[in-house]
Amino acid sequence: MSAESLPLLSAADLVVLAAVERRPECAACAPLVCPGWESVPSTFDLSTLQRVDTLRGEDAEESTLLEHHPRGTHGWSVDAPIAPAFFPYNRCEVWTCKACARPFLRYTEYGGYYEDQRIREIRAERIEDARP
């Protein structure tokens, strides 16, 4: 499925996705302990995840690089809000575990000499419908 054909999700859609009841222990996605942003472990089998949705609008290249941290969090904080209109969420795609449907956000961080695949579990209590 191409990124262009993925549904564009809102903050309310993310809350619904995150609220779906799942098995507490899933062997397929258990290695992903990511309440905040983390690099995808090089040993993790990405084929256990499937891309299902996106937060990237058609104008993703024009989207803001501003981050949303109203309570003094930072990009790596486990309690940082998930605000789809802000960076890096506005550049994310939504993935789920094929075995248990646990939802994740993923994006690629482009540094000067590297690319880093980043992942964060979607937790309903972290989602905020804030605007830049």
From 67, 56, 68, select the one nearest 7 (Cα to Cα). 56
The predicted-structure confidence for 47-74, as pLDDT tens digits, reads as follows: 999 999 999 877 656 778 999 999 999 9
> What is the token pair recorded at 73?
């969090």
From 115, 122, 127, select the one nearest 95 (Cα to Cα). 122
Query: Rounded to two decimals, what is the model's pTM?
Result: 0.89
> What is the token pair recorded at 56?
């990237």
Across 44-76, b (16+ Cβ under 10 Å) vs e yields beeebbeebbbbbeeeeeebeeebbeeeebeee
Residue given tokens 């939504």 in the structure block: 94
Q: Where are the domains of the chain?
A: 3-126
Q: What is the reported pLDDT for 114?
A: 86
Each of the 132 residues of the chain gets a pLDDT tens digit; together they read 445 567 789 999 999 999 887 767 899 999 998 999 999 999 999 999 999 999 987 765 677 899 999 999 999 999 999 999 999 999 999 999 999 999 999 999 988 888 999 999 999 999 999 998
